Structures are given as C-alpha cells and as structure tokens.
Amino acid sequence: MSRNHFNFATRLAAAAFAVVAGATGASAALIGVSGPNSTAGVAPSIIGAPAHVLDDVVFNTGMQGFDEAQGVTTTMAYTYDSGVLAAGSYVDSHMIFLNSQGNGRLEHFDVVWTFDAPIIAVMSDTGGAYEAASTGELGAAGTNYTLTFGGSGPAAPFSNRGLEGGGDGYSLFSANQLQVSMVVTEPGDWIRVITAPAPVPLPAGFPLVLTGLGALGLAARRRKRAN
C-alpha cells in the first residue's frame, strides 16, 4: 500500500472509531405516560426533576415521574425489590411519585410509564431504604433528597416512603413499560426505576465509512496480487 493510501486508510479508520465511540449509548428517558386520571381528576405527567423530593415539600394531585441520573456506572452494589444491582452496572435512573398535601386520601391506579430502554430494577420497599441507599449515585443532580429544613419533613428512608400495599403496586407491562398504582394519605409514595441506557442509532454516514474501509481493503488486496 502506498504512503498516500496508508494515510487515507488511517484517517478513515480513525473516523470510523470516532463514530462508534460516539454511538455506544445514550441516556434512557421517560418518553410517555398514559392511564386514567387520579381521584382528584388529574392526569399523570412527566416533569423535570424538582428542587426537592422531601415528603412535605413537593406535592401533586396526580402521579408524576421524572428522570434522575443518566449514564451512571455504579461503584457499588444496590439492593432492589427482587435482587441486587451489581457494582459496575451502566444504568439510568428515574423516579415516580404521588404525594398529596395534608392527610386527604388520593388514589391513582393503572398508570403506564414508558421508557426508551428496558427496565432493569424497581426500588419500592416500604421504608424507602433501597432508594435512600442509592441516591448518592442515582439521584438527580441538583435535587435535594437529604437536607431537611424548617419542618420540611423527613428525608428517605422513613416509614411508608415506598409502596405499602392496600392498593399500591406495580407490574411490568412490557420490557420498557411499568404499570403503577398508588394510594396515599400521609406520607406519599416514591419509587425509583432503573433502566438500561438507550441504544444510539448509528449516524447516517456510518455505513458509508464502513463501505469505504471495505473498498479500500479490497483495492489493496488487488494491488498486492497484481504485484
């Protein structure tokens, strides 16, 4: 192979590597929610991460969900409802909650949350211990999970932070959909959902890069045979 062909091949290979390196993964987000209104007549919704997730600070009248940390490689193992998430797992995190103001009973049943990647784990234990243990790595940046102030109510874990039964529950609706029901008085219900990062489609030009590399290799082999 001539020096010019070698230099071109090197640049083309470097370009291909850069494309692959930039297309290995992306954050997995909440992309949809459906279901009936709550008993307060409010539809479920996706929101931005709130400033606080303390029980007596953030309120709603219909189930809400938001994205937390994205593209995290965990440095330790975390327990979830049906197993353990191994250290070194590459994941995205999300929170779903229903939290009425005061002691009035609020119900929201059969809400289906859709993510753009498969669901790996759910943390919904009654005291919120699984959530609290993982918040340091999986909580949303800029959201206060732990610092209480001025009678703001406790931070997780505390009694009945998660799901308690009596109407609370969830089920896997499909690989990337979770159906959730919550019934709250005081305190509210908060659960964490862990998903795999969403796959990134290859850029439109990537097949051309591969075609170019293949053609260049074929030309080199032909020249070698000719010589």
Locate the domains of the chain by residue range. Answer: 3-20+202-226, 26-195
CA distance 192 to 67: 10
pLDDT, mean of residues 183-209: 77
Which helix or strand (DSSP H or E) is residue 102 part of? none
Question: Which range (27-36, 68-77, 218-227) has the least confidence?
Answer: 218-227
Would the pLDDT of 203 be above 60? no
Q: Which two tokens stand for residue 122?
A: 């759910």
Question: Which range (33-37, 52-56, 181-185) has the least confidence?
Answer: 52-56
pLDDT, mean of residues 186-201: 86
pLDDT, mean of residues 138-157: 83
Would the pLDDT of 115 be above 70? yes
pTM score of the predicted model: 0.77
At 199, the amino acid letter reads P
Q: Which two tokens stand for residue 183?
A: 């019934």
Predicted local confidence at residue 38, as pLDDT: 98
Predicted local confidence at residue 103, as pLDDT: 84
Q: Which residues of 185-201 are buried (b: 16+ CB within 10 A; e: fewer)?
A: eebbbbbbbbbbbbeee
pLDDT, mean of residues 187-198: 93
Would the pLDDT of 5 be above 80? no
| Total residue length of the chain | 227
Which helix or strand (DSSP H or E) is residue 145 part of? none
In the chain, the largest separation of any two C-alpha atoms, in whole Å, equals 87
CA distance 71 to 86: 15
Task: With cut-offs at 50, 70 and 90, classify the pLDDT of residue 46.
Answer: very high
Would the pLDDT of 6 be above 60? no
Predicted local confidence at residue 206, as pLDDT: 45
Residue 198 is classified by DSSP as B
Q: Are 49 and 68 in contact (CB under 8 A)?
A: yes
Higher pLDDT, 199 or 124: 124
* Average pLDDT value for the chain: 82
